[in-house]
A and B are shown apart, each in its own frame.
Chain A
């Protein structure tokens, strides 16, 4: 079963706009990660935020984490057509061994 639920399931924006994706999860976590997947290919790690962090930045990416609400958001600023992909959150839950539990993903389309 999936730990995380992502919202929205699909998002279509124009180039230059910002894209925000949300992730909710169910159990206590050690960290939360975001991955990107181009159609039918492997996942690429974007950013990791630890449970004691509230916000993290990496280039055009900004991730927030609210452990009281068990939720996270990924913001991509000034989006580009090349950002078109599926984005997944993944949680490393306490007492889950060394496994990540992935959300259902958000399909982002950035129109040129």
Chain B
């Protein structure tokens, strides 16, 4: 079974641009979560999608958005990039829609904003 796949793995953007990151969950997994990891703030929850619906959202500005498609693949978008958005963005999937169990993480997309 293929793991969680995130693309692109690395990207460099400049302030004011926007970026879209993609995540393909493990086959059969319907829940996809996104996390931002920075040296200063650590791992912070962005949002979670289940069956194309956003079920939970972390404390991030509206510049951060996401969506999930009918095949469970998910994208997240960050508009009007700021230097502080430089981070490792991690996607995680899990199978069920109930209480949180084990998350399966992708390798992440490392975003650098110049």
Interface residues of A (CB under 8 A from B): 1-2, 30-31, 33, 35, 40-45, 48, 88, 92, 96-105
Considering the chains assembled together, what is the distance between the CA atoms of A103 and B58 in angstroms? 15
Considering the chains assembled together, what is the distance between the CA atoms of A99 and B99 in angstroms? 9
Q: For residue A105, which residues in chain B have a CB less than 8 angstroms away from its CB?
A: 42-43
The majority secondary structure among interface residues of chain B is strand
Interface residues of B (CB under 8 A from A): 4, 31, 33, 35, 42-45, 48, 50, 55-56, 58-59, 88, 90, 92, 97, 99-108, 110
Count CB-based A-B contacts (< 8 Å).
69
Q: For residue A41, which residues in chain B have a CB less than 8 angstroms away from its CB?
A: 107-108
A93, closest chain B residue (CB): B100
A41-B108, A42-B107, A97-B56 known; 5 new pairs, CB 8 Å cut-off, are A31-B101, A43-B92, A44-B105, A100-B103, A101-B45
Question: What are 29 A-B pairs with beta-carbon distances under 8 A?
Answer: A1-B59, A2-B43, A2-B44, A30-B99, A31-B99, A31-B100, A33-B103, A40-B108, A40-B110, A42-B4, A42-B90, A42-B106, A42-B107, A42-B108, A45-B104, A48-B101, A48-B102, A88-B43, A96-B56, A97-B56, A98-B56, A98-B97, A99-B48, A99-B56, A100-B100, A102-B43, A102-B44, A105-B42, A105-B43
Closest Cβ of chain B to A92, distance in Å, is: 4
